[in-house]
């Protein structure tokens, strides 16, 4: 995994070397193992490498015989199969990313159709005088761009474009409202004015410094549920998951996995234990002395049953206050998801254990229907359904924000309209809507930024094209049955690993943020209310009162404002963390 950046000028002049240097420096944490550059034809590319596969000869940029040059933040899991398929091509390295370059030379701008993996790729093709960018269908790997009269620039993180002076600091209002009400932002536009996302599955073709074409590869099939009996489906599930996990383990460096007490990570560990001769390194976070469910006992039992090398970490209130400013600093494309906090500490532990790769269960809930909102979407009208997902925002009826409207839901409405035009069942529609924005712009941003801050690569075996095609087209009753989601995964796990207690009711992963905020609310409220970013959007008196009130909704709102206050200080005002939450909020910018 790596960091990539580049510039294409509108007039063909050499790109600004200082801007390229600034982007590379801003992305250095993503690629600590080496730096590469390419210049030519009005294009400059930069690559910072985190070496995972082909440690000896896999440095980038990679150059094809026709002069095409590739930089990539990618793991192409089917690279061995692609090498065999293209046996006549002259491969110069053992790098997985070289297969993508040869596919481009063969298939042109449709090259990404043959890739199985996670990727953000840039290819400069001097023969066609174009720059081609491609992002994987689920949006596992990030890619951002800005476009103007002087040309086009891209980077793995928005901060790189800002550091290079290619975009300014500021707030885009619609994404800001989404962040407050949803905890994530939707669509192409980021919260940074002028900085846009390459959408999941999108390929951009850029010529003379401007986008001239866009193409899209879908993450999910537009197919109604297929008929399948349970026994047949269980065989198919084991086949696609085993193949995906085996491919996701391809690595020339040590790897492990994140283990919660949930279904998804237990399935992954069971499969990894079957595929590995040595004990799997598994990492679990827990919370002692709070009302939040502590998953460590359950994870410990599962790990013991499978002979895993189990690492446990306590995440306590001191960690919360200490790490939150660092997390806000790492997440430049903001998602106010408190699950980032233990993820950040687990990534630190994995790095200290000598790992560069961690497998994680993101995508299992979306593909196999694990969330309660999916059951709500299936309810018949006579029992109060179907219910629209995310129909209310976090600040609705709290009277804290200076202005309020329902425009924050426009991006969700757009996804509902786009995905609703087709043969999908109500359950599939709910799953597909989550995969458009919630998954890439919350869960996968969390995984990418928290792990890359520690030089660790996160891999997601559930978010594989073959797994997605299989899972999304399962009959609805093999996803949800008897009021429980992920039925087929549970059935498989029930047999493969009885210790996991697959049919216990799902508790969900919760961080006791509300408890911790209330414990120091009298001290925290005035600090948050006084922050410039908060004064612009909320009523200070009501913000101060919020931190001494109880209630679940109030706790979510208090957390969101605290996260935004820290994020705003760093990414809009240009400040850096100055110790813990209180020290950072009290310090002058």
Q: Is 329 inside any structural domain?
A: no
Please check the confidence at residue 384 and state whether its pLDDT lies above 80. Answer: no
| pLDDT interval class at 294 (50, 70, 90) | confident
Q: Looking at residue 511, what is its pLDDT?
A: 79
Q: Is 340 inside any structural domain?
A: no
Give 322-375 as a DSSP string. Answer: HHHHHHHHH-SS----TTHHHHHHHHHHHHHTT-SEEE--TTHHHHHT-SHHHH
Please check the confidence at residue 54 and state whether its pLDDT lies above 90. Answer: no
Residue 544 CB coordination number (10 Å): 18
Q: Is the peptide bond before 487 cis (omega within 30 degrees of 0)?
A: no
The answer on 305 and 177 residing in a single domain is no
Q: Which residues are designated catalytic? A: 2
The answer on 203 and 159 residing in a single domain is yes
The answer on 262 and 193 residing in a single domain is no
51-65, 381-395, 479-493: which has the highest mean pLDDT? Answer: 479-493
The answer on 547 and 472 residing in a single domain is no
- Averaged pLDDT, 139-153: 97
- Averaged pLDDT, 373-393: 81
Q: Looking at residue 253, what is its pLDDT?
A: 93
Q: Is 322 inside any structural domain?
A: no
The answer on 300 and 354 residing in a single domain is yes
d(CA 472, CA 479): 9
Name the nearest CA neighbour of 366 among 577, 137, 68.
137
Residue 260 vs residue 11, higher pLDDT: 11
Q: Is 382 inside any structural domain?
A: yes
The answer on 530 and 429 residing in a single domain is no
Q: Looking at residue 156, what is its pLDDT?
A: 98
How many distinct structural domains can be found in the chain?
3
Spell 241-256 as b/e; 16+ CB within 10 A means b: bebbbbbbbbbeeebb
d(CA 396, CA 180): 10
CATH number, domain at 371?
3.40.50.620
d(CA 262, CA 104): 40
Q: Looking at residue 385, what is its pLDDT?
A: 66
Q: CA gyration radius for the chain? A: 23
Please check the confidence at residue 195 and state whether its pLDDT lies above 80. Answer: yes
Left, alpha or beta for 428 (phi > 0: left; psi -120 to 50: alpha)?
alpha
d(CA 412, CA 436): 9
| pLDDT interval class at 432 (50, 70, 90) | very high
The answer on 518 and 496 residing in a single domain is no
pLDDT tens track for 453-476: 999 999 999 999 999 999 999 999
The answer on 149 and 96 residing in a single domain is yes
- Averaged pLDDT, 249-272: 95
Q: Is 72 inside any structural domain?
A: yes
The two three-digit tokens of residue 148, written as one number: 């103007």
The answer on 456 and 580 residing in a single domain is no
Q: Is 507 inside any structural domain?
A: no
Q: Is 440 inside any structural domain?
A: yes
| pLDDT interval class at 532 (50, 70, 90) | very high
| First-to-final CA distance of the chain | 33
The answer on 517 and 496 residing in a single domain is no
Report CA torsion sign: 578, 321, 141, 184. negative
- Averaged pLDDT, 265-280: 97
Domain boundary among 158, 185, 216: 216
Please check the confidence at residue 316 and state whether its pLDDT lies above 80. Answer: yes
pTM of the complete model: 0.96
Q: Looking at residue 404, what is its pLDDT?
A: 84
Q: Looking at residue 512, what is its pLDDT?
A: 87
The answer on 306 and 194 residing in a single domain is no
Q: Is 72 helix (H, G, I), strand (E, B) or coil?
A: strand
Please check the confidence at residue 348 and state whether its pLDDT lies above 80. Answer: yes
d(CA 225, CA 348): 41
Q: Which residue has the tokens 């009130």?
A: 549
The answer on 550 and 488 residing in a single domain is no
| Structural domain that includes position 555 | 513-586
């Amino acid at each position: 995994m790596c960091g990539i950046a580049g510039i294409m000028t509108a007039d063909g002049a050499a790109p600004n070397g200082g801007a390229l240097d600034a982007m590379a420096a801003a992305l250095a944490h993503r690629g600590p193992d080496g730096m590469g550059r390419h210049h030519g034809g009005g294009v400059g590319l930069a690559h910072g490498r985190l070496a995972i596969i082909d440690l000896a000869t896999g440095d980038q940029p990679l150059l094809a015989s026709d002069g095409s040059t590739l930089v990539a933040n990618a793991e192409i899991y089917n690279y061995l199969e692609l090498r065999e398929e293209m046996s006549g091509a002259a491969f110069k390295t053992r790098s997985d990313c070289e297969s993508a370059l040869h596919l481009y030379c063969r298939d042109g701008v449709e090259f990404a159709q043959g890739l199985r993996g996670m990727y953000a790729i840039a290819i400069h093709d001097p023969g066609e005088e174009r720059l081609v960018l491609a992002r994987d269908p689920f949006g596992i790997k990030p890619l951002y761009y800005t476009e103007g009269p002087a040309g086009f620039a891209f980077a793995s993180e928005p901060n790189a474009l800002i550091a290079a002076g290619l975009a300014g600091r500021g707030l885009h209002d619609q994404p800001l409202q989404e962040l407050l009400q949803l905890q994530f932002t939707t669509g192409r536009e980021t919260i940074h004015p002028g900085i846009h996302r390459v959408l999941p599955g999108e390929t951009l073709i850029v010529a003379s410094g401007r986008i001239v074409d866009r193409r899209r590869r879908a993450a999910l099939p537009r197919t109604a549920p297929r008929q399948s009996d349970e026994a047949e489906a269980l065989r198919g599930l084991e086949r696609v998951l085993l193949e995906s996990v085996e491919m996701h383990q391809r690595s020339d460096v040590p790897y492990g996995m994140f283990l919660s007490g949930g279904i998804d990570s237990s399935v992954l560990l069971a499969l990894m234990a079957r595929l590995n001769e040595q004990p799997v390194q598994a990492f679990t976070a827990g919370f002692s002395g709070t009302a939040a469910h502590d998953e460590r006992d359950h994870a410990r039992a599962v790990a013991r049953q499978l002979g895993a090398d189990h690492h446990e970490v306590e995440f306590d209130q001191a960690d919360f206050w200490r790490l939150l400013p660092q997390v806000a600093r790492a997440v430049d494309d903001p998602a106010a998801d408190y699950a980032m906090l233990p993820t950040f500490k687990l990534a630190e532990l994995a790095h200290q254990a000598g790992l560069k790769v961690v497998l994680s269960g993101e995508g299992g809930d979306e593909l196999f229907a694990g969330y309660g909102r999916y059951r709500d979407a299936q309810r018949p009208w006579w029992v109060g359904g179907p219910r629209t997902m995310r129909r209310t925002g976090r600040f609705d009826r709290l009277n804290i924000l200076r202005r309020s409207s329902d425009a924050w839901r426009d991006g969700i409405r757009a996804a509902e309209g786009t995905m609703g035009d087709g043969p999908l069942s109500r359950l599939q529609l709910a799953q597909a809507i989550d995969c458009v924005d919630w998954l890439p712009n919350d869960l996968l941003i969390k995984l990418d930024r928290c792990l890359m801050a520690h030089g660790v690569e996160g891999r997601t075996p559930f978010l594989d094209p073959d797994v997605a095609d299989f899972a999304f087209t399962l009959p609805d009753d093999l996803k949800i049955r008897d009021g429980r989601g992920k039925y087929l995964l549970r059935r498989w796990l029930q047999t493969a690993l009885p210790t996991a207690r697959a049919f216990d009711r799902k508790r969900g992963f919760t961080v006791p943020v509300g408890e911790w905020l209330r414990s120091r609310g009298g001290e925290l409220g005035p600090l948050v209310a006084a922050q410039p970013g908060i004064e612009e959007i909320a009523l200070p008196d009501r913000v101060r009162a919020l931190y001494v009130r109880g209630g679940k909704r109030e706790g979510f709102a208090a957390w969101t404002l605290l996260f935004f206050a820290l994020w705003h200080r760093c990414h809009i005002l240009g400040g850096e963390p100055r110790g813990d939450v209180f020290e950072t909020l009290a310090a002058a910018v």
